Each structure stands twice: as structure tokens, then as C-alpha cells.
A and B are shown apart, each in its own frame.
Chain A
Amino acid sequence: MKKSDPLLGKKLSRRDMLRLTGVGGLGLLLGGGGIGGIMATRGAAAQVPAAEVKEDTIPFYGSHQAGILTPSQNFLYFASFDLTTTKLADVKKLLELWTTAAAALTSGSLIGNINDNPHLPPSDTGEAAGLTPARCTLTFGVGPSFFDGRFGLASKRPAKLADLPAFKGDDLEPKWSGGDLCVQACADDLQVAFHAIRNLARIARGTAVLRWTQEGFQRTGGADPMGTTPRNLLGFKDGTGNPDVTNAAEMQKIVWNSSGDGPAWMNGGTYMAVRRVRLRIEIWDRSTLNDQESTFGRYRHSGAPIGAKDEFDDLNLKATDHSGKPIVPPDSHSALAHGDGTVKMLRRSYSYSSGMDLTTGQLDAGLLFISFQRDLVKQFVSIQERLSKNDRLNEYMVHTGSAVFACFPGIREGGTIGESLLG
């Protein structure tokens, strides 16, 4: 009988569950191998054959973690965790449980096998039941504090993984900074992303606690079917100057660690810099279009570099006007960030809006800047040093949070998040 196939051999997705139970499926479920069968196969959730992967599913397993080169989803839910345990065994256990849960979350299955026992709280909190995976990706990393000696891992800390140095103008708050572990959840549906973090935090209870979280958004695919470069809250296209993620050689150079970069456990991994940047949008809104464009060195409407026509035209910093002055202001954000063009990073930021600042009555909104790079110091720090000193954009923003994480290499089927580090 065809209908019962998925119950026997394959995992049951959140949608299958709904569909089946919706058509008097409980009987069908029980007939087709029994609930126990479903529970057991669902435990093996993420072994989805590649052929079955649908458009709304981004494979969790692979040589690199998803959520890095993955084209940005519509929403972000970022969570930084602190470990409360002092036992390495607990940390390993947590990462095992997170692996199983992440495989379920990214493939749209219910978490755990206790979802129908009337005497127990269900193991999945349920708000994503019936939803597709919505291209959910979960990206895991460890911060410098993970190596501080509590778990005997100090010798494994990559030399380059350290809290970022203080930059000019920083106004960092501990409540938006740091963390032993991070999970970047991205999805085309905020409820799916929230559900992921909520359940991972629940699973961590007793072992790790949330330190800080931030939701992020961009224009959705629905509002921009053409998928043009998204605009940040200052109204400018953001991401134009990013390297091409489909160019494997470039990614190897800019993003991924390989042998020789540092500890072997980071081979195939990457470093993440996170900055919570509050934008002074009220001040920005009072500046002229001309000022705004000079601030970025690009046109607001097209996103093209000043003096050029098309968004993707080269940023030519040598071009001068008739009086010999550079056409793209040297202290504009694009010019300074670009530098001589030899140092790049992969940016994957999201806008945020966290209600209002009760002191000033202004919006607390801005950018959760996220970038991935092979080397935090050579890439992020060197660019941010230039920016923090001279960027015209500084007038309109303040960095309120900061964190860095070593994002593990990809997880192979049957493997565990972080196993190259923890064994």
C-alpha cells in the first residue's frame, strides 16, 4: 500500500503528520507499522536521501555547515548561550542532542519521540507543526570563553579566536556581547526560526542558558520575487560588494579554514563576527540624499558606485572628477571597507528592530552585522579598524554588541556537531 510507505521507511515530516492525521490518519498510522515505527524512524530523521531534498529544505549535513554560503533566508533568530555545567561530558551530550534536534528542525520533523504521551510534556513544543522547513538552517559555533579552562580545552583554542579589540566609538553592552556557544537560526518563516531556538534552548536547560538573542529580518521573498539585493534600514542595498558564494575557489580563500590556518579541528569551518549595530535612524532621516550617498559611496536608488551606472559595476576608487578629486569619497563606507580590494569577507547581516528606547523615545533598530571569514584578525579586524576611525557612516551608528565564534566544520550524517573538537 503506497500510502503507508513513508511511515515505514522514511521520516515523517511535520506536514505528513498533519496530512495523515487530518484524513483520519491515526488509524492509518497505527495500521502502517504503528506509532512506535514512526517514533523510531523519526529518530533517524535527517537521513534524507539527497534526491528527496525539496526546495524548502536545505541539507543539514555536508562538508560545511549550512547557513553560511546559503543565500540569506528571510528571517534570523540568533542566540548566544552560556554553559552552566562544568563537565565536558555534559557539553558533549548537549551537542549530541542538538544534532538530533537540528536534523529534525531543518527537515521539518517533530523533535523527539514523546509527542503523544498524555502524561508527559511533548518533546516538540509544536508551534511549527504542519509547517515546511522553510529553508531553515542552524549554524553552530563556540566563542573564546568556551576555551577558558572550565572544560580543559584551553590548548585547543585557535590563536585567532579572541574577543575583538576595542574599536573607536564602541559602546558595547555585556547584554549583547559574547557567549560560549552560538546558534544562528535562519528560515523563511520567523515562527520556524523561533521554534528552532526555543527548542534548542529547552533542550539545553540545565546545561546551558541563553545569554542574549536577537531577531533579524530582511524584505521577504514574497515582497521581492525578483530576489534583488535587500536594503538595510538606511535604505541602501546591502550585500552588493559581497564575494560570489558560488565560486568555490574564492570561498576557500575568504571563508573556509584549511590545514595550515590553525587547529585541524577547524578545517572546513569558519569564523563568525557578530556586531549589534544600532542605527541612529532619526539623524539619518534628516540628512540629505547627497549626504547619504556620499556616506556609502553609492547611489541609493540603484546601488551603483557613485559615478557608475549599474549596481554591480566595479567600485573604481581611482576615478577622479575634472578637479582631480576622487569621485567615490575615500571616507565613504564602501571605499574604506573595500580598501585596496585584497581583503574580503562574506557578510550575511540582518536588520533588527527591538522596540523603542524608552529613554529617548526613538526606535532601537539597526543591523545585526554578521560576517564569515577565514581569519578574524586579518579580515574583520583590519577592515573594522579602518572603518571605526574614518567611516562617514559612524555618525549614524553605534556598535552596542560584539561576539565572535568559531563555526565548526560541516556535520556528516551520523556525526555530531563539534566532533572534530570534542571527539
Chain B
Amino acid sequence: MPDQTFTVNGETVTVDAPDDLPLLWVLRDLLGIRGPKYGCGIDVCKACTSHLDGEAFNPCATPVAAVAGRSVTTIEGLADGDRLHPVQEAWLEQDVAQCGFCQPGQIMAAVALLKRTSEPTDAEIDEIANVCRCGTYVRIREAIKAAAARM
């Protein structure tokens, strides 16, 4: 099997995996990085949302070979040590999470949105397609706005 080399949360890693293996399983099963969640495997639920070179992407639908030499950030890499990212802080303030299973993906999607626009409109927030089966959308919207104000 070929070696795959890329960066995860600032560290360069090399794993032995077939080119077409979805990155989600390289992260979760081979590297033990289990913040990104499986919710569908086909780029629909967005539970696995992480960043590739700073932009939101879905590792469940990205073959590992496609990230060779690139930089992947998962929820584990968002905080700066013990200092949480402002979006995580906003999530705490609004007490967004219920079961929490979708929240790593929601937070990574929100961070990516705030990178694109510092003052997202309601319509832009509506475009975040991440499923929250517990129905925390109202608090997510508030948290994104609070984070935008803070950043």
C-alpha cells in the first residue's frame, strides 16, 4: 500500500493506506483522530466537516490521496492549546450542544463561514447544511452571530 503524507492539526503524518480510502477513516481508524464524526459517508450530513487548507471540506467524501502534501485541520486542532477558538467560546455561552454529535462539524462549518465573511447574514447562515438531529439550530445561529461580534 502506498504511503500517504499530509499535515493534520499542524503535524506531518505518513500513513500506509490505499489512495481511494476516504480520509475520514484514515483520521479515525488509522490516526485515532476521532473528533470528526461519521453521519452519512456521502457528503450529506456534514458531521465530519473539517478544514483543508483553511476551507471547509468533508473527509468522508475525500480520498486520502487528494490531501497529499496539504494541511488538514479537525476540531481537535481548532483551539490554541487550552485557549478555545472564539466560535467554541460562543458555543459554550449559548450552551448549543445537546447530544453534541454534530457539533464538531457545526463548529468547523461556522469557523469556515466566518473566515469568508466577518458579518454573516441570516441567509448565509441558512446555507450551512449540517444536520443537527437534536434541533439546536436556533442556538447555532445565535452562537455564530455572537462569535462574529466577538471576532
Q: Do A and B bind each other?
A: no
Which residues of chain B have a CB within 8 Å of any CB of chain A? none
Which residues of chain A have a CB within 8 Å of any CB of chain B? none
